[in-house]
Amino acid sequence: MDETQAPIGILMLDSRFPRIPGDMGHPATWPFPVAIRVVRGASPARVVREGGDTLAAFIAAARELVAEGAVGITTTCGFLSPYQDALAEAVGVPVATSSLMQVEMVNRLLPKGKRAGILTIAASSLGPAHLAAARVPAGTPIGTTEGGREFTRVILNDLPEMDIDAARADNVEAARALAAAHPELGAIVLECTNMTPHAADIRAATGLPVYSIYDFVCWFRAGLSPARHLPAS
């Protein structure tokens, strides 16, 4: 297989909520080939709220994708950061489990006195283990859409319909609240992969750089299939 056509394998939660353009589970989101595999039994509620042990199912699905030609593996949930090491060891290709892995790098990009904050779908469930696995510095500011009326409710209850405008408003309002509470914020990292369609609106509302799973996986993919600037030898 030509390396430019080798896909990134995406491990997707077992869900039915709408995946709109920009969502990493929507194939048209990506400017390169992807192979999406649903991990049966790994529902949004089980992974985010219940913390159920789904590692074996993720490893099995990841191995299938690698056997079919995937050159790297990622997932559709930032709460899977604790699976990073086990997945990478099990599949033998690069793995990027969580958007949270960007926080440490983004901090290094910011001016002195500024730091990245996290916007998550469920701050009440985002615990020390998730943050430590992604090497997120202690004390990192965290905002959440849990107080909104649509985004968190629809996704974590896995409902079949979503008011996209209301979901966007939840994201924008939560980001504004996070920025207002932390004037030292220099950027926002979106934990939830379903927040990506709203990244531009969050940027416009807060004036802060916004980093999503889309940015992370595009960077990840670039290393696995570098652009060719000179003729092949």
Q: What is the pLDDT of residues 202-227, one digit of tens each?
A: 999 999 999 999 999 999 999 999 98
Domain 8-98+216-224 and domain 99-212, same fold? Reply is: yes
Q: Which residues pair with 37 in a beta bridge?
A: 11
Q: What is the DSSP annotation of 43-67? A: -HIIIIII----HHHHHHHHHHHHH
Could you read off the pLDDT of 41-88 as tens digits, one per residue? 999 999 999 988 999 999 999 999 999 999 999 999 999 999 999 999
Q: Dihedral through CA 3, CA 9, CA 10, CA 12, nearest 10? A: 150
State yes or no: pLDDT of 102 exceeds 70.
yes
Q: Which fold has domain 99-212?
A: Rossmann fold (3.40.50)
Angle, helix 84-91 to helix 55-67, in steps of 10 degrees: 40
Could you read off the pLDDT of 148-159 as tens digits, one per residue? 999 999 999 999
**Percent of the chain scored above 90 by pLDDT?**
94
Q: Domain 8-98+216-224's class?
A: alpha beta
Q: Where are the domains of the chain?
A: 8-98+216-224, 99-212
